[in-house]
Amino acid sequence: MKKIKYLKCINCGKEFQQQKGLYICDECNNNLEVIYDYDFIKKKISKEKLKKNNKFDIWRYEPLLPIQDLSNIPPVHIGGSPLYSFPNLAKEFGVKNLYFKDDGKNPSASFKDRAGAIALVNALENKEKVICGASTGNAASSMACLTATKNIKTIIFVPKTAPIAKIAQLLIFGAIVIMVKGTYDDAFDLSIEASKEFGWYNRNTGYNPFTREGKKTCSLEIAEQLNWEVPDKVFVPIGDGNIISGIWKGWKDLYGIGFIKKLPQLVGCQAKFSNAVKKAFDSDGKIRAVSGKTIADSISVSVPRDGQAAVKALKESKGFAIEVSDKEILDSIKEVARKTSIFGEPAGVTSYAAFKKAVSLKKVSEKDNIVLLITGNGLKDINSAMKCVGQPFLIDPNLKALKGLIKKISIDK
Ligand SMILES: *Cc1c(COP(=O)(O)O)cnc(C)c1O
Ligand SMILES: [Zn+2]
């Protein structure tokens, strides 16, 4: 592919030519980054051309994507998620602008569709017959959703703790679902072994070099939605660290082709006991295993598979990391819903919980334009949502019962 120069190990810098079956660095086992020929790409993409393109999905950035053409893309609308501005909330929290990017709007209702779409097209371009992957739930439900109409078998490994809504998605779309009696980390290792043993294409986060390329499309969209004005800070939930490294890649690519003149600071948002990236960033940069225990299943990770890239993104962007408790995450589901009309899953609103903490720690300024990524839809995990609200009222179906109830409760908010 002309637009790609080579793939480069994020750790040791070893360079590789793109080829079927290439995943990680054979020297140090680290994740690879796609290095583009920006001069070539500049000739294919321009702000004016984008303005004339009225299809607002990830494929509008095709010159910046590691795919040959659009002949293999799934039929559903991926990306192009809304970026909402809330001036009243910006005022409340003392920042200049506060934006929410609602990625729960994607076909399988999470940010993962951006990654899954690129991995899928890559697999189809390589004429793969079977695609497999391990997931805490969302990467898998995305893969199942996007492969549904394609002639490729989909095999999913999930921990038995995955929320039931995500399991339902997997089964509905017709994937082969293998539940592993263990953690996400166990499912991950088994899926890699399976790929090697049976020759299946693997889309695992932090292993497949193209998921990051899909995830970066969120930054391209934010930039375009803000008319190429770069925000000061972008708050990103972190599990494996692939979204944040993808978000960073997106800004760097835009800088590389001359669309923007500065880069934002990234803020990594983690759950308290699933905070390996924060710990590494705040100390010597080395990832060490943590318990990974959190109610936010999508960011419940012991050893982040793309942790090193995440730490690098935080460092290069001169950003910082924030950790929040499960209680703060649960409260945020309710608060975000009531302040913005966006219903996020626990991991999805971790950005908001971390933003509030950043405000209280005085880590944001009144001059800041801030974007919070809401990475997944709340309907994916209603058990968690129900934990932060009460039960509905239950009455007999008559006016007398209703009047009795109204006397007891205050209906004025
Ligand atoms: C996967 C996921 C994340 C975290 O992304 P990583 O690349 O694992 O850091 C955050 N939120 C949701 C909803 C997710 O599905
Ligand atoms: Zn290497």
pLDDT reported for residue 360 = 98
Residues with CB under 6 A from ligand 1: 110-112, 138, 205, 237-243, 298-299, 345, 347-348, 375-376
- DSSP-based three-state secondary structure for 247: helix
Task: Say how many C-beta atoms besides its own lie within 10 A of residue 337's C-beta.
Answer: 17
pLDDT reported for residue 303 = 92
pLDDT reported for residue 160 = 87
Tell me the CA–centroid distance for residue 292 and ligand 1, in Å. Answer: 13
Domain ranges of the chain: 83-109+211-387
Residue 334 tokens, joined: 């309710």
Mutate to test the pocket of ligand 1, among 218, 298, 323 (most ligand atoms within 8 A of CB): 298
β-strand partners of 1: none
* Backbone Cα Rg of the chain: 21
pLDDT reported for residue 330 = 97
What ranges make up the beta strands (E) of 152-264? 153-159, 176-180, 201-202, 233-237
Mutate to test the pocket of ligand 1, among 81, 243, 295, 332 (most ligand atoms within 8 A of CB): 243
330 in Cβ contact with 365 (< 8 Å): no
For the chain, 413 residues long, give each residue's pLDDT as a single digit of tens.
899 999 999 999 999 999 989 999 999 999 999 999 999 999 999 999 999 999 999 999 999 999 999 999 999 999 999 999 999 999 999 999 999 999 999 999 999 999 999 999 999 999 999 999 998 889 999 999 999 999 999 999 998 888 888 889 999 999 999 999 998 889 999 999 999 999 999 999 999 999 999 999 999 999 999 999 999 999 999 999 999 999 999 999 999 999 999 999 999 999 999 999 999 999 999 999 999 999 998 999 999 999 999 999 999 999 999 999 999 999 999 999 999 999 999 999 999 999 999 999 999 999 999 999 999 999 999 999 999 898 999 999 999 999 999 999 877 65
pLDDT reported for residue 184 = 85
pLDDT reported for residue 1 = 87
pLDDT reported for residue 23 = 96
Mutate to test the pocket of ligand 1, among 31, 103, 105, 111 (most ligand atoms within 8 A of CB): 111
Residue 362 tokens, joined: 């005085």
58, 102, 113, 282, 373 from 81: Cα distances, Å? 10, 6, 11, 32, 11
Atom of ligand 1 nearest to the CA of 215: 7
CA distance 350 to 329: 6
pLDDT reported for residue 137 = 87
Range 83-109+211-387: architecture per CATH: 3-Layer(aba) Sandwich (3.40)
Q: What is the pTM of this model?
A: 0.96
Task: Say how many C-beta atoms besides its own lie within 10 A of residue 244's C-beta.
Answer: 34
